[in-house]
Structure 1
Amino acid sequence: MEYIPNMAITNMSIGELAYWNEWWKTGEFPKDDANLRDWSQSTFRWKPRLGETIENEEVIYVLRGPRRVGKTTLLKLRIKNLLEEGVSPENIFYFPCDAIETPRQLRIVIDNYLSQQRRPGEWAYLFIDEVSMLVEWQKAVKLLIDVGRFRDCTVILTGSHSIDLRKGTESLSGRRGKIEKLKYGTPDKILLPAKFAEYIETLEPKLSNELRGLWLLSLKNRKAMFLQLAHGRIPSELKRLALFTKELDLLLDQYMLTGGIAQAIHQYVSKRKIAEDTYNMFVGLMVRDICRWKHDENYARQILRRIFETISSHISWNQLREGTDVRDSKTAESYVNILKDSFVVTYYYQLNVEKASPDYTSNKKIYFQDPFIFHACRGWVYGKKAFELSQKFLSSPEDKSKLTECLVGNHLSRFMFNLYPSSLYDPSNYVFYWKNKKKEVDFVIQLNEKFLPIEVKYSDNIQKNDAKGIYAFMKTGRSHEFGIITSRNRLEIGKKYVIVPLSILLLLA
């Protein structure tokens, strides 16, 4: 059954709630559900790795992620699987929060389901979609927790705005259920666009089998390979992957157009073009979120323009507002943080080597979270068709190199989150840049007790001069023995650095 977004419920009866839970009537997931119909007909049938980390325990999960990333599809795939595994249909509840307006209504909806539809004494699964659309949603959830309504329940709450969900979950501290039973640690999950590895796993079965055969899906193994590189050794797995650099390169070029957004990938793979409506829908939802947090659309556009103009450079908040109508640095910072909390951009600080922590007084380097988001925002900022603009942008080696830095930063951030999962995780505490008066390094991450410097290039013309920043960083005494310089296809050991194809580094992260 296709969901009608503007439908609002009135008395919140079980009869009304059945509209979103057709399996109560039929015993099976509806074959005409719009989300799963699109997924099943797509050339990119992505099953995020994240889904495997959600366990059927008495826990309240919070799933965050950008607009259009596939959170609702992930929930519905899970519901379909539960039904196929034999879970009683009455014990599965899905509800989209854009059908109501207040936390009180949410409390009544959930209470009505638990009282009138759920089978008494049996385990229940509740999927509450886009809860962040309700201001102070946590009040309803907290009250239900405090009266024991979520006993023997697995609850998943989703939302598209990080700051709202983070503040909401902070007020639920100590009330998230039996999180000590979780194998995967934190009940706070972030669904980001598909990583390059997930892109390959979903689109290319042959290469996917290679990744599995080389144990590249294991975080422990990927960390071990990073450490081998940090000691100047090329793992045998990477030598094997180097045989496929031609295929990986073609896929990476494609990924730089589509990013990890399923709808964009499907359109490009099937039609070699991404529809303008796909970009516009993302931007429209992004702008709606910006305005919801009482920020001005025009200021946001101007700040985004400055981010495009200064991308890959270190910049202060005051410098960022130059050439805009934004009056002060605090306002500029506020707009960037709204974009960060909407999963559009992120930023990194310079590493304070002595303290092994970010230098919060330093300038920032601001990057986009995903190529599709990058191109969608560029189309909006410059008032041009995003797909045509993206093709022109990627035809310039200089411009393309800026997007490769975004990719590396994003993938390193996700790698570090997997190493140190936490509801308080902030990429800027784990990924840095470094500079002194003359030299700099694009990215630095901490592996064990030392730091690994990574210089991003997308060329095979790697010279010793490209390692000058790495050499300077090594003089701090906190570096691993070797650094990494990315290339297009070269995989070899240099003097105190290892050259690794960009596509392979992204598969490791």
Structure 2
Amino acid sequence: MMELQNPWWLGESDRDWEAFEKLTYRIWPNWIENLSLRPFSLNFVIGPRRVGKTLGIKLLIRKLLENEKNPYTIFYFSCDVLESYRDLLEVLNDYLKSKKKRKIKRAFIFLDEVTLVESWWRALKFLIDRGELRNDVVTVTGSISLTIGRHFETFGGRRGNGRTIRVTPLSFREYYGLFYKEFFPLKAEEVFEDYLETGGYLAYLNGDLKVDEIVGFLKADLKALDRSTDLARDIMGAILDKAPSPVSFNSIAKAVGISPHTARDYVELFEAFHILLQVLYLGGDG
């Protein structure tokens, strides 16, 4: 499985590199330039699923391989095939043994969509505390739930030179640049209508993402945070019923049959997931 996910070990090309070159619409992810590549670093790359985190990591790997003589210094693993932190720990230990056998002093380790693994943080924290990763650069990607989860704080003082990078769908400026280099007001209006339809998801624009997939990802994130998807749906429904009129947490709570505290908790989660934006209401009294 490790060899399948690291084809450059065998001198082969990665499927994501080839897919990127064939995309109708593509953009270089500038956020990869902000990652720390100086040991020791624990980087977190956070953002909605299908927003381009994996592709960005793969493009960074291709760039790193240009200067790395030994391809085994770069290790990538997609964690969606793992179930628990024990599986993750086993994978990492297997790579560290291989690294030691090949006398590799510094490695770039990429763990993709780690939030899909139950208690993922336990494996990483264990290896960091034992000093097993002290000469390496570790980059972890995950959904918004990665920073909201109660275990994110356990890495305080354990991140070295690491940084937290937030990846979002394309801004309108970036989106417009896919079609025109200069700004034309009439064309901008047309492109903006498309932008509202796609939400800035490049995968959607390329025909590689469906709306129901995004809903599925949101449900998975809610479950990862021990929240009810049914309750989330009801709260969102209550908000949409009242929009665009001002709405309070109390009125949401009353409509759904929950406490105002619970209503606020879910609304703040929706905001973290970039589903909605809270705009505080200014009354007529100022």
* Alignment partner of 1:258 is 2:198: yes
Larger strand proportion, structure 1 or 2?
1
- CA separation of 1:172 and 1:295: change in aligned 2, threshold 3 A: closer
| Partner secondary structure for residue 126 of structure 1 | strand
- CA separation of 1:146 and 1:165: change in aligned 2, threshold 3 A: farther
Partner of 1:235: none
Give the total of aligned pairs.
284
Q: In structure 2, how many angstroms separate the alpha carbons of the residues matched to 1:248 and 1:46?
A: 19
- In structure 1, runs of 5+ residues without a counterpart are 1-15, 180-186, 208-240, 268-274, 348-364, 366-432, 440-509
- CA separation of 1:313 and 1:51: change in aligned 2, threshold 3 A: farther
**AA matched with 1:64:** I
Partner of 2:155: 172
CA contact 2:145–2:224 (8 Å) conserved in 1: no
* Alignment partner of 1:100 is 2:31: no
CA contact 1:290–1:296 (8 Å) conserved in 2: yes
* Alignment partner of 1:123 is 2:54: no
* Alignment partner of 1:306 is 2:238: yes
Partner of 1:236: none
- CA separation of 1:44 and 1:438: change in aligned 2, threshold 3 A: farther
* Alignment partner of 1:138 is 2:118: no
Q: Compute the TM-score of the two structures, normalised by the length of structure 1.
A: 0.51
Offset at residue 155 of structure 1 (A):
1.1
Partner of 2:66: 84
Picking from 433, 437, 444, the partner of 2:284 is 437
Picking from 139, 145, 148, the partner of 2:131 is 148
Offset at residue 173 of structure 1 (A):
0.6
Partner of 2:46: 64
Partner of 1:490: none
Q: Compute the TM-score of the two structures, normalised by the length of structure 2.
A: 0.88
| Partner secondary structure for residue 178 of structure 1 | coil
| Partner secondary structure for residue 149 of structure 1 | coil
Offset at residue 304 of structure 1 (A):
1.4
Offset at residue 125 of structure 1 (A):
0.8
Partner of 1:162: 145
Instruction: Note the alpha carbon deviations across 1:323-381, whole angstroms, 9 max, x for none.
Output: 33x3222222232233334343342xxxxxxxxxxxxxxxxx3xxxxxxxxxxxxxxxx
Picking from 5, 20, 29, the partner of 2:5 is 20
Structure number with higher relative contact order (C-alpha < 8 Å, ≥ 6 residues apart): 2
Q: In structure 1, how many angstroms separate the alpha carbons of the residues matched to 2:28 and 2:267?
A: 31
Partner of 2:172: 196
**AA matched with 1:328:** S
Partner of 1:373: none
| Partner secondary structure for residue 323 of structure 1 | helix
**AA matched with 2:13:** F
Q: In structure 2, how many angstroms separate the alpha carbons of the residues matched to 1:308 and 1:137?
A: 35
* Alignment partner of 1:316 is 2:248: yes
CA contact 2:36–2:161 (8 Å) conserved in 1: no
Partner of 2:92: 110
Q: In structure 2, how many angstroms separate the alpha carbons of the residues matched to 1:117 and 1:311?
A: 56
Partner of 2:29: 48
**AA matched with 2:269:** I
CA contact 1:161–1:341 (8 Å) conserved in 2: yes
- CA separation of 1:311 and 1:29: change in aligned 2, threshold 3 A: farther
- CA separation of 1:62 and 1:438: change in aligned 2, threshold 3 A: same
CA contact 1:317–1:332 (8 Å) conserved in 2: yes
Offset at residue 313 of structure 1 (A):
4.3
CA contact 1:48–1:194 (8 Å) conserved in 2: no
Q: In structure 2, how many angstroms separate the alpha carbons of the residues matched to 1:345 and 1:262?
A: 20
| Partner secondary structure for residue 150 of structure 2 | helix
